[in-house]
Structure 1
Amino acid sequence: MATHHAPPDAPASQVRTSIQLLADSNVVGIMVAAADGRIVEANDEFLRIVGYSRAELEAGGLTWINLTPPEWLDADRQVTEHVRATGVAPAFQKEYIRKDGARVPVLLGIAALQDTEEGRDAVCFVVDLTQRKQAQRERDRLLIERVAMLDSVDEGIYGLDIAGRCTFINRAAAAMLGYEPEECLGRNMHHLVQSFRADGSPYPDEDSPIFDAFRKGESVRVDNEVLWRPDGSSFVAEYASCPIVQNGNIEGSVVSFKDISKRKQAEERLRVSEERFRGAFANAAAGLFITDLDGRFLEVNRAFCEMVARGEEELLGASYQQLAHPSDLARDAQVLGQLLRREISGFVGMERFLRNSGETLWARISVSVVRDAAGSPAEIVYLIEDITERLRAETDLRRGEQRYRSIVENTHEGICMCDAGCGITYYNPRFAGMLGYEHGADLQCPEIHFEEDQEDRRRHFETRRRGVSESFEKRLRREDGSVLWVNTSASPLQDDEGTFAGSLCMFTDVTESKKLEEQLRQSQKMEAVGRLAGGIAHDFNNLLTVILGYSSMLERKVSTSDPLSKNIVEIRKAGERAAALTQKLLAFSRKQVQHPRVFSLNHLIRDTESMLRRLIGEDIRLAAVLDPAAGNVKADPGQMEQALMNLVINARDAMRQGGEILIETSRQDLDPGAARLRSLEPGAYAVLTVSDTGCGMDEQTKSRIFEPFFTTKEPGMGTGLGLSTVLGSVKQSGGAISVYSEITVGTTFKIYLPSVEEAGTVLDSRIQPAGLAAGEMILVVEDDPGIRNLASEVLREHGYKVTEARSAEEALASGNVLSTVDLVLTDVIMSGMNGQELADRLAATRPEIKVLYMSGYTENAMMRHGILDPGLNFLSKPFRPDELLAKVGEVLACGGEVAARDQVVRRILIVDDDAQVRSFLATLLEADGFSVLQASNGKEAQARCEETAFDLVITDLVMPEQEGLETIHVIHRNWPDIRLVAISGAFGGAYLELARKLGADALFRKPFEPDTILTEVRRLTKR
């Protein structure tokens, strides 16, 4: 940039006019500085450059010194002195400090303006170099990138000026030519690497095709030039020269080249082996043919003729386009054009040909161009591989993979794949759903395992790393933090070299099974306690029968004025309290005898309401809301009354400071889902609800309230049998009980009892007085001498004739005495033959004889779940003399039938390879009065059927030795009267429908509800 200034002798007005013209243009920043450094005038461009406003300028105080960085001040002072001395200073670059503190690069020219009293004023011309500096930095950056780019390629590249001198060269070019880049710069490249031809003759510059780029302004490509190295060696190069044109003038060229020595050697070898190729061409297994540039066949081999099912004569002279699939012709023409123009050296792809039959031949095609010595395209060579069958196989494989993926994506099992580092690489939607995640979430092994399980996870993974497959049960962490229990089948994965590459895991959700197992363990524990309680109660009932009987007899014989009378009463009361306790034990163990009757829950509550009010006291309010639609139930009213009292007393004890108890009744129709939640059958239920506003219970307490002897009350305030007794009574009546409780809010119990449509009876628990005896003969059969003697004495005192027997066998041996017996009073459980068996034997000769059973324990074949069969006469131990007399009189007067004479014990065969399943079903069915045998597989079951007559067979479907399906088929064919039940959990129960077609009468998918299968077995055996 030139600096304009007025000559020293120019008029001041002329100079200012010139400055004003420049200032108005705003192209150059202009400012006038006084001799003392103050800036007295400036145009808008200058103010823009330094970032000040005109008002700030006019306010004064702005000097070139405070605009100048400290490091520039000395140089500026020297320039200022030079201007004062000479009137002008050459333009120079410097920096200004803007108002905002930023530095701006400028080009500055200074000229003296005029002399003043203080010295000479100066005018400064300022050009903003910011954009120019940025552009320069961008050019430098681009240059560095281009140099790096050139050095990154393998192809040799260098530039020439119009004289043929090297202007730049990349490292690849210098290395191929045997020079360092610095040795080439500025030197004539033709002289350096092309001064001789391949035969050693001189090679003038003007003959080099590279210079055609200079002369003609066209790009030149050569593929057979010889380049020489400084050590005398040479190589054949393929290169191209492209002219550099600026402003319409050719200023040089860019040359790119690569060493094609090996290719040339290959071409030579190809030429030498051409005859061999021709021989191989005709006999090659792959299809080969050669066409001219228009696509007409010049040569075809036998393999291609066979592929397209055409003869050689038919093909020669025909065109390639006639055989190609019409849909491929446009692409073929495009590829051919690229080959001919050397845009591509060859083509490999898919092609379709039409066979003579019209079928499509799928082929892998390789196309190349054969050129003549001049480098012009001469022929097109095609190599054809028939891949029709392979594509068909691949299509089948893809379909198979799609089917496999569909199976994996939709299977009921969770599937997960991990890499060698235990990172999850794939999981199916089921696995995500099991864990509560959306499919596609980023799942990782540590996150879905609990912290305390991490060591086990690593140990299992190391097992798979050793190449070992394993199956085990583990727990996983759901997204919400809850536990998911799974059965895991884990297998190692290997790559093509046999190296461990990860693992494949399949997961089956067994969370519900774990819950059921826990419930089963709890049930077994409760059952064990129940058996113990029932056994103890049975033994005590025998003792209490004697105690209560004799104390009652003594009480009647001893005068109330007798000093012993009071003691006798206390003995009787203690015996009655002990009898009540044994009844609670039996109720808990569900072994108490029930006397079910149809009655209204509303009537029961009204009858007991006044008594309940006396029990709870005055500080607790009792309200009853009774729904008339609640209807009738069939249960033991005494037990239900006791259950209500237990719940009310518990509610009272939970409200020490007073509160409210609400008793409600309602009717609910439970659908299958709601019924299943309560372990009930679907249907109509009468619901008894007892709610309180007491202290409530936490979850831990609530989980134990039905355990026997568990209590939260103070010592001496309760036995812990209250709620377990309620549960036993409700369950024994075919119902269920639920509880809801919140701390400080209260507790609600709901009792569900099956609703019945039968008319109810009036509830009256009073014992009817015994009628007078008419000299009837009674046979007392009891192995306990105390009870036998008591019963005999009571009966004799009231006019009955009595004969005794210590066992069933002794009774049967009585001979002629049996012919005079009107009634048999027999214990149920005795050593040797039991009471039922005695009754069955007596019925053979004396069908009219009456039987009255007595027992304190009812786990026997005559009773199901402690409920008396219709027509069976039963007296529960312990009993008082008046109860014995009333029951005997009732049986003799009503002419009751011998119990269960027509009841046939049904025999059932259970077939399952899982011993736990067999044991569970056997326990369930035996408790219901069935006779049960077991078999672990189909062959064993078939053998059992040949030996024993069965009423029903329950069989699993997937077992060793002989599958359940075959077993069903054989039994149905050979023993058509046997009813068949199929159970299975394999493959989601897929085989169950097939089992029905083979003869199964009922189907159950594991896991199944015990009550559901029990109901079906009863139906099939007509129980």
Structure 2
Amino acid sequence: MPSPSPKAIDPDSAPIGETLGSTGEHLAAAAALRESMTSTRARARWYTLAVFAAVGGAALVLIAYHKFGVLFPFLAGFTMVLMVPGGVGPLLLAGWGAATLTLLDTDYAQAIVLGPDGYRLAVYYVLTLTSAFFGGRLRSSKLHTLEREARLANALSRVQELYATTQEFHAQQRAERDLLEGILATSIAGVIVVDIAGAIIFANARAEEVLGLQASDLQGRRFDAPEWRHTDLDGLPFPDDRQPFAQVLRTGEPVFDVRHGIEWPDGRRKVLSINGAPLFEQNGGIEAVVFGVTDITDVIVAERELRARDQRLDQITSVMPGIVYQYLRTAEGHESFPYISQLAERAIGADVESIMRSPTIAWNRVHPDDLPGVMDSTFRSQRDLTPWAYDFRVIDRKNDGQWRWLSGQALPQRGTDGSTIWNGVFIDVTDRRRLEDELRQVQRIESVGQLAGGIAHDFNNVLTTIIGEASLLEFDAEPGGDVAISAGQIRAAAESGAALSRQLLGFARRHVMAPRTVEVTAIIDRAIPLIRRLLRERISLQLDIAGDAGRVRVDPALFDQVLMNLAVNASDAMPDGGELSIRCTLGVGDAESLALPNAPLGPVVVFEVSDTGAGMTEETRLRALEPFFTTKEAGKGSGLGLATSYGIVTQAGGTMSISSVPGQGTVVKIVLPAADGVADVAVVPEKPAADGTETLMVVDDDEPVRRVTAATLRRRGYHVLEAPGGLEALRLGRSLGRPVDLLVTDVVMPGMTGVTLAREYLAEALTTRVLYLSGYPEGTVTQHGIVPDGVELLTKPFDIQELSRRVRTLLDQPVGD
């Protein structure tokens, strides 16, 4: 049967299906037979079976001959047909062998060959070989039929497989083509294929849109056509060697994100991002170049706007008094600074880019004592989504490793991915914290000062009464008697209390400065007892005072405070004991000889207070005179001692300097102008006589003070009127019908102050002279602690002799002096 042509085969047609069905039961056998026939091993097996068939056939013939005495040659042929599956060849071999083997039997051979029946031999061979031949033909014909059917079935199966494979291949090709066309049609990038000559051979729809041309216009057009002016991002001509096409042809490698602009003759301009890759021929040469073209004009505009906005943000944040930042922490705990302003570099000495890459750089600059608090507060803010605020210290490694205070504030926002971002600001509050500390010091001093001033006012009133009453009692008592002695002791104790009150007011800076010309030796003699009480037990005091150390014009009480401040500092510098030395000399002042830049010229008095304590470093020495600077532990020093001392000295026209060597001690040098003339001497108390008959108005809200004041003046012969307050004194004065000779009034009183009362008396011509009394005059009749000219002030507590002297002096002065 002729084999069908593959083109004529339809796997779905009925004949092929029926054919396959009719031969189905033979397919396995035919395929096995065909495989066996084409195998060398199978043929060897067939001829081996032929040998066995020959032996078997011969044995059957001999058995039948011996049993029946009759020759049956067909038994040999029947045995061979059954045993040998091959064709004619193996059967003939078996038949020849069976006939030959039969002759090996002696009895049979003699009967056949030597006997009269020799013709039987020929008949036996003929019958055996004929049986083998026809059996082989029969078997061979059947095998050929099966083989042809198997071949046909195999051919049909192969054709069917080929057809199915072809259909599947075409379907896959169609799917791939559809997929590619879909990708090209929907791609956001333009796809262009350019041959090696530079002509465009393919462009998808997006490429047509990007380039502004139809497919028909693009076909054959060169990529570098003159209608397209290639520029860089700044509008300058784009170099030919940087063209993506040239780069791919030159290197044979892909290129990515090559950015350049294209300008059309009508002024339109686009910026493109181009990726390119070569397409190779079978021989390895470049056949064409495929490009992916993306219009990034809007992206470039957005990037430029973003950069401009970032620049504006940097400009704004650069003048802000703080570090503007964004801090991000993911749900897994990863952290970063998406933004941080440039001020961070100046504030903590860290590069901004480094901080944004690794926040650890910033956290490593936080003071170890503050870092746990920063982390804990940030965690709570992230957990509760509450505003974050915290003050902490950071080290500024660009400025000698100084610690700076930052105050952080931020508002958290939760992202959809569970992350938290804080928008906030770090403000450098180093100066503010220092000012706050100083303000707290000032407030503390002011509070103590107000308390001290209030106590001193009331205390001075009490002391005024005690001193006055004791003086009156002493005056009336028999001299040398027990009453006079007791009264004198009471007055002395009260005067000691008055000294303590003045020191309290001096500490509170509520004193009234009353400069006097005093002997230096008198100053030292006055201060030494106070200094000795301030020194530790194991500190010795050494004095070196020149016999004629001169005179200075200072407020003795305030200068006592200066010396005590220096003594306290020296004592604190010698906790294990040492030596404190005070030296005073008279010299000539000039900057070179005294090694002081602001030394007064002319005769000067030099005070040197030195100790053998721990000394100071140069840095500490340079800052020692700064207000609120102290090296003592918190609560053990205000940092005002030296600063206040320096102010008192400079107010007196002098200067002060400090020299120190660590481990060897400190020397404080005070230089004051020497005063001309003689020292002022205190009035020696003496028994006064009644020396006046003028009318006086005494006003004080404190009844004991008013009583003792009035009693003292009455003993002098004066006519004294009393009033407990300003309003009462004003009404009384107006009712007299004539002016009083002197108004003696307290300064601080409820209702109407003494200053207001005096102003009304002078305005209404109710008096021509005023003497103020006060134990707390700051801000009432003084200016910066100094009593102005024309104002007569007697500070409490005072003794009756001083009161009498001041009253008589005022009454004796002509009006207007």
Look up the match of 2:380: 463
The residue type paired with residue 622 of structure 1 is: L
**1:820 alignment partner, SS class:** coil
For 1:270-669, list aligned pairs within 5 A.
Answer: 294-295=197-198, 319-321=222-224, 322=226, 323-325=228-230, 327-332=238-243, 334-335=245-246, 338=249, 349-357=258-266, 360-365=269-274, 385-402=294-311, 404=313, 413-414=322-323, 417=327, 419-420=329-330, 425=336, 430-431=343-344, 434=347, 443=360, 447-448=364-365, 456-466=373-383, 468-476=385-393, 478=395, 484-492=404-412, 497-500=416-419, 506-596=425-515, 605=520, 608=523, 620-623=541-544, 636-641=555-560, 643-644=562-563, 647=566, 660-662=581-583
Residue pair 2:615, 2:664 contacting (<8 A) in 1 also: no
Counterparts of 2:583 and 2:269 in 1: how far apart (Å)? 86
Q: 1:868 to 1:449 in 2, by over 3 A?
A: same
Q: Deviation at 1:849?
A: 2.0
**2:406 alignment partner, SS class:** strand
Q: 1:609 to 1:293 in 2, by over 3 A?
A: closer
The residue type paired with residue 715 of structure 2 is: E
2:704 aligned with 1:804: no
Look up the match of 1:764: 680
Counterparts of 1:375 and 1:619 in 2: how far apart (Å)? 105
Q: Deviations over 1:756-777 (max 9, x none)?
A: xx99786414249999956332
> Which stretch shows the higher mean deviation, 781-790 or 363-372?
363-372
2:712 aligned with 1:794: yes
Counterparts of 1:612 and 1:591 in 2: how far apart (Å)? 20
Counterparts of 1:319 and 1:683 in 2: how far apart (Å)? 92
Look up the match of 2:40: none
Counterparts of 1:368 and 1:652 in 2: how far apart (Å)? 88
**1:837 alignment partner, SS class:** helix
Q: Deviation at 1:407?
A: 6.4
For 1:86-165, list aligned pairs within 5 A.
Answer: none
Q: 1:846 to 1:735 in 2, by over 3 A?
A: farther
**1:870 alignment partner, SS class:** coil
Give the counterpart of 2:739 among 820, 823, 838: 820
Residue pair 1:328, 1:352 contacting (<8 A) in 2 also: no
Q: Deviation at 1:570?
A: 1.6
Counterparts of 1:434 and 1:347 in 2: how far apart (Å)? 41
Residue pair 1:309, 1:356 contacting (<8 A) in 2 also: no
Counterparts of 1:744 and 1:346 in 2: how far apart (Å)? 74
Q: Deviations over 1:686-723 (max 9, x none)?
A: 99865322456998867656679xxxxxxxxxxxx999
CA RMSD of aligned residues (A): 6.1
Q: 1:398 to 1:809 in 2, by over 3 A?
A: closer
For 1:746-765, list aligned pairs within 5 A.
Answer: 746=665, 748=667, 763-765=679-681
Look up the match of 2:17: none
Counterparts of 2:262 and 2:424 in 1: how far apart (Å)? 46
**1:841 alignment partner, SS class:** helix
Counterparts of 1:465 and 1:623 in 2: how far apart (Å)? 69
Look up the match of 1:778: 696
- Structure with more contact order per residue of length (Cα contacts < 8 Å, sep ≥ 6): 2
2:149 aligned with 1:266: no
Q: 1:409 to 1:859 in 2, by over 3 A?
A: closer
Q: 1:660 to 1:477 in 2, by over 3 A?
A: same
Q: 1:596 to 1:235 in 2, by over 3 A?
A: farther
Q: Which runs of 5+ in 1 are unaligned?
A: 1-198, 202-225, 237-259, 670-674, 676-681, 709-720, 899-1023
The residue type paired with residue 843 of structure 1 is: L
Look up the match of 1:884: 803
Q: Deviation at 1:874?
A: 0.9
Residue pair 2:610, 2:668 contacting (<8 A) in 1 also: no
Quote the sequence identity (%).
Answer: 27
Q: 1:595 to 1:565 in 2, by over 3 A?
A: same
> Which stretch shows the higher mean deviation, 846-855 or 351-360?
351-360
Counterparts of 1:368 and 1:775 in 2: how far apart (Å)? 125
The residue type paired with residue 176 of structure 2 is: A
The residue type paired with residue 306 of structure 2 is: L
Counterparts of 2:168 and 2:599 in 1: how far apart (Å)? 99
Residue pair 1:492, 1:500 contacting (<8 A) in 2 also: no
Counterparts of 2:165 and 2:216 in 1: how far apart (Å)? 55
Q: Deviation at 1:752?
A: 10
Aligned length: 610
The residue type paired with residue 487 of structure 1 is: S
Q: Deviation at 1:821?
A: 0.9
Higher helix share: 2
Q: 1:864 to 1:683 in 2, by over 3 A?
A: farther
Counterparts of 2:737 and 2:779 in 1: how far apart (Å)? 25
Between structure 1 and structure 2, the one with the greater Rg is: 2
Counterparts of 1:451 and 1:725 in 2: how far apart (Å)? 36
Q: Deviation at 1:430?
A: 5.0
Q: Deviation at 1:374?
A: 13
Q: Deviations over 1:255-300 (max 9, x none)?
A: xxxxx997784236657x89xx9xx89xx99878887764457899
Higher strand share: 1
Q: 1:616 to 1:446 in 2, by over 3 A?
A: closer
Residue pair 2:245, 2:289 contacting (<8 A) in 1 also: no
Q: Deviation at 1:884?
A: 0.9
The residue type paired with residue 726 of structure 2 is: A
TM-score by length of 2: 0.58
Q: Deviations over 1:582-638 (max 9, x none)?
A: 2222222223332246x7xxx864664577789999985435799x9x9998x6344
**1:862 alignment partner, SS class:** coil
Q: Deviations over 1:660-695 (max 9, x none)?
A: 3345898999xxxxx9xxxxxx99999986532245
Q: 1:386 to 1:446 in 2, by over 3 A?
A: closer
Q: Deviation at 1:856?
A: 1.3
Q: Deviations over 1:154-182 (max 9, x none)?
A: xxxxxxxxxxxxxxxxxxxxxxxxxxxxx
Q: Deviations over 1:734-790 (max 9, x none)?
A: 99999999997445557799x9xx997864142499999563321111233332232
Q: 1:469 to 1:826 in 2, by over 3 A?
A: same
Q: Deviations over 1:124-160 (max 9, x none)?
A: xxxxxxxxxxxxxxxxxxxxxxxxxxxxxxxxxxxxx
Q: Deviations over 1:801-842 (max 9, x none)?
A: 322222222222223426231211111122322212212222
The residue type paired with residue 361 of structure 1 is: K
Residue pair 2:327, 2:423 contacting (<8 A) in 1 also: yes
Residue pair 1:776, 1:822 contacting (<8 A) in 2 also: yes
TM-score by length of 1: 0.48
Counterparts of 1:311 and 1:270 in 2: how far apart (Å)? 20
Q: 1:392 to 1:843 in 2, by over 3 A?
A: same
Q: 1:312 to 1:890 in 2, by over 3 A?
A: farther
Q: Deviation at 1:519?
A: 3.5
Counterparts of 1:631 and 1:702 in 2: how far apart (Å)? 38
Q: Deviation at 1:432?
A: 6.4
Q: 1:348 to 1:270 in 2, by over 3 A?
A: same
Counterparts of 1:423 and 1:333 in 2: how far apart (Å)? 40
Q: 1:529 to 1:367 in 2, by over 3 A?
A: closer
